[in-house]
Amino acid sequence: MAFTSQTASRLEEQAIELPSWAFGNSGTRFKVFTQPGVPRDPFEKIADAAQVHKHTGLSPTVALHIPWDKVDDYAALREHAEDHGVALGTVNSNTFQDDDYKLGSLAHRDPTIRRKAIDHHLECIDIMDMTGSRDLKIWLADGTNYPGQDDMRGRQDRIAASLEEIYARIGDEQRLVLEYKIFEPAFYHMDIPDWGTSYAQVSALGERAVVCLDTGHHAPSTNIEFIVMQLLRLGKLGSFDFNSRFYADDDLIVGAADPFQLFRIIVEVIRGGGYGEEGDTAFMLDQCHNIEDKIPGQIRSVLNVQEMTARALLIDLPSLDAAQAAGDVLTANGTMMDAFYTDVRPDLATWRQERGLPADPIAAYAASGYQQKIAADRVGGTQAGWGA
């Protein structure tokens, strides 16, 4: 199928949230590389994120991470975002950078540590009320390194009880989104290692508790689009953290490692009703890498998501359906591949121009002088949080 006006208008439904932490310095556990011009506070992170939206029209919201983005006045932060043409989005909690949480947070055996972790989440919900955010995203670093280190069943039960208390404070228009990850920082077992565990936990809470799928958080060769299909079928795919990976949780530019996988994932999102206005699945980036320039790196990521969405929208669904029904394996697969191999870049350049956006956002950003300006104006940038 060709790129039509219907494809163009469906693409208008796309919104991809950016992570505030992508704009600060970051690195690996070996080295954090500093870059000139990185933001010195959350206000400057939002100004940078707004540049991505300005050049692509694709990223109207910015996710916060608490305490990395703690400020005195959240109403002012919200207003600042609006002045820059964006809004504040998901609030991410953080229980992985405090000595108290060495043996766990919501799963900890010590009730005083659990209390502290629960209270942190309640504080995040207070912040959401001030920022106008819908989603509280919880990723737990909880787990163990050695067999026998702790009782896995007891930890699961304590997480369930802690989440119940947090969920009770979630507003009618808000959601609790639980992210899973196969390993790291714990190496023997993670308490929320996979979509099934996340699904079991959120299902016990209620309707406004859903799962976040981070594309870098699975074992190699996991069929991620199958998980997408299943969670949408169950009404529980709350959001994505998009990034790409070659080996583990690499957090590289989205679509850089495996554009075909990104395409297959988006095909299932559309198939399952999770895309755009009809869906409730939030697209977010959790891409945060250390060697490329931050703003153009994020621009490239959102453009890659848009590109694979456009290709997914090109699938000739009646032909695919007919081939599947007839058991015509080669035609069915060929129909998918025809869409995947279609170069939509010229159509997307036109799509942008028709909406007053630059045909080539990366070139337009480079020519804007913004990078030189922040490098000259800002001295002493913050780290994204990893080393902070």
Q: DSSP letter string over 318-367? A: HHHHHHHHTT-HHHHHHHHHHHHT---HHHHHHHHHHTT--SSHHHHHHH
Q: Which two tokens stand for residue 110?
A: 């010590």
Which residue lies nearer to Mn ion by CB, 189 or 218? 218
- Residue from 17, 69, 142, 241 touching Mn ion (CB under 5 A): that is 241
- Residue from 249, 250, 328, 338 touching ligand LRH (CB under 6 A): that is 249
- Residue from 48, 286, 307, 347 touching Mn ion (CB under 5 A): that is 286
If binding means CB under 5 A, how many residues of this protein chain bind Mn ion? 4
Between CA 58 and CA 14 the distance in angstroms is: 7
Q: Is 17 in the site for ligand LRH (CB under 6 A)?
A: no
Which residue lies nearer to ligand LRH by CB, 292 or 316? 292
Residues 283-302 that bind ligand LRH (CB under 6 A): 286
Residue type, 306: Q
Q: In 3D, which of 195, 252, 253, 191 has the Cα closest to residue 219? A: 195
Q: Is 92 in the site for ligand LRH (CB under 6 A)?
A: yes
Q: Which two tokens stand for residue 31?
A: 């080295």
Identify the bridge partners of residue 18 per DSSP, sorted by sequence position.
62
Between CA 138 and CA 106 the distance in angstroms is: 11
Q: Is 135 in the site for Mn ion (CB under 5 A)?
A: no
Which residue lies nearer to ligand LRH by CB, 237 or 336? 237
Binding mask 117-156 for ligand LRH (x = CB under 6 A): ----------------------x-----------------
Least distance to ligand LRH, CB of residue 288, Å: 7
Nearest residue to ligand LRH, scored by beta-carbon proximity: 139
Between CA 342 and CA 268 the distance in angstroms is: 18
Least distance to ligand LRH, CB of residue 245, Å: 11
Least distance to Mn ion, CB of residue 306, Å: 20
- Other C-beta atoms within 10 Å of 157: how many? 12
Least distance to Mn ion, CB of residue 10, Å: 26
Q: DSSP letter string over 199-267? A: HHHHHHH-TTEEEEEETTSS-TT--HHHHHHHHHHTT-EEEEEE-B-SSSS--BPTTSS-HHHHHHHHH
If binding means CB under 6 A, how many residues of this protein chain bind ligand LRH? 9
Least distance to ligand LRH, CB of residue 243, Å: 8
Q: Is 241 in the site for ligand LRH (CB under 6 A)?
A: yes
Q: Is 328 in the site for Mn ion (CB under 5 A)?
A: no
The structure tokens 């494809």 sit at: 7
Using DSSP, how many helices (H) and how many strands (E) does the chain show? 14, 12
- Residue from 134, 181, 236, 245 touching ligand LRH (CB under 6 A): that is 181
Identify the bridge partners of residue 17 per DSSP, sorted by sequence position.
284
- Other C-beta atoms within 10 Å of 231: how many? 23
Least distance to ligand LRH, CB of residue 69, Å: 12
Between CA 97 and CA 384 the distance in angstroms is: 13
Of the candidate spans 5-13, 86-94, 242-250, 260-268, the one that interacts with Mn ion by CB under 5 A turns out to be 242-250
Residue type, 117: A
List of residues contacting ligand LRH (CB under 6 A): 21, 92, 139, 179, 181, 214, 241, 249, 286
List of residues contacting Mn ion (CB under 5 A): 214, 241, 249, 286
